[in-house]
Structure 1
């Protein structure tokens, strides 16, 4: 069930269409975690359940979020809003992502 973490509410109105987020500890799942410092980065595969236990730092958290996709990525229609939203993109299902909105990054 996709959740809006700022308001802790369901992202989509039809919550019965989604399974609840599992309790990794209760279900005996492997849990990986690391202490983070300013400037650190985290990368993960979207096939992995991911989350955070909360920021207990006395200073405010700042983050830069970057989503990388392969050169074979295609646009897919999904119900509801996307995160981040991409209004007026004019893409059609199955179409390669727009290069002016999703630039290609080449390693040096």
Structure 2
């Protein structure tokens, strides 16, 4: 929090604690880069996505200070992005104990689609796809029998992996405990560049001039973390 990047933003109102997000810090924070490259996370992502190669898409820090009421609205990750494909994984990795009410929760089965309209967390704007071009997200909470919610209390060292199309969200943070999370997004074999005419979240300025729509994400911004050679796993440093 003392060294936020230019991409950092506040996702709660000024009178509501602080929900702060920051993006794409792996190449300026050595400890983060070491964790992303050397932990088992990329190998786990490869196993889950049945991929022979895994690239980093981006890192995402999410901090909710004690007393932050702001919920993380139900949403999918993929509609905010400039990538397409099915072989992908997001990892949610808390560094503080998190009870179930404040931890990430999922709507089971939504990884199958459809895509829902991405909106800003704080003021509910359609800042990406044009208004009306995607379905609005249903009121999942109104029909829990149809839309079962799954989630867990988590401890430091726990990690939850999920598809970027899975609908997820989280509650506010009460008491005196911070909720600090590192989320890392991984790209598997079939992931390609999806050229957008608007800044994505996070933005990758100039990428549309360097990669054609539908091309593999072979670019220094997205380093290879893990490859499979025969039956052997090879971490890429």
Q: Aligned pair in 2 of structure 1 residues 20, 54: CA closer, same or farther (>3 Å)?
A: farther
1: distance between equivalents of 2:223 and 2:141? Answer: 39
2: distance between equivalents of 1:31 and 1:67? Answer: 22
Greater strand percent: which structure?
2
Is the deviation greater in 33-42 or in 89-98?
33-42
Superposed displacement of residue 54, structure 1: 2.7
- Does residue 37 (structure 1) correspond to residue 37 (structure 2)? The answer is no
Superposed displacement of residue 91, structure 1: 1.5
State the partner residue of 1:22.
138
TM-score under structure 2 length normalisation: 0.40
Is the deviation greater in 97-106 or in 52-61?
52-61
2: distance between equivalents of 1:63 and 1:26? Answer: 28
Residue segments in structure 1 that go unaligned for 5+ positions in a row: none
Which one of the candidate residues 67, 72, 85 is aligned to 2:203? 85
- Does residue 10 (structure 1) correspond to residue 125 (structure 2)? The answer is yes
Greater helix percent: which structure?
2
Provide the secondary structure at the position in 2 that maps to 1:16: coil
- Does residue 68 (structure 1) correspond to residue 186 (structure 2)? The answer is yes
Contact 2:119/2:126 (<8 A) preserved:
yes
Runs of 4+ off more than 4 Å: none
Superposed displacement of residue 33, structure 1: 1.1
The higher relative CO (CA closer than 8 Å, separation ≥ 6) is in: 2
Query: How many residues are treated as equivalent by the alignment?
Result: 107
* Aligned counterparts, 1:50-65, within 5 A: 50-56=168-174, 58-65=176-183
1: distance between equivalents of 2:175 and 2:216? Answer: 41
Provide the secondary structure at the position in 2 that maps to 1:63: strand
TM-score under structure 1 length normalisation: 0.78
Residue segments in structure 2 that go unaligned for 5+ positions in a row: 1-116, 227-232
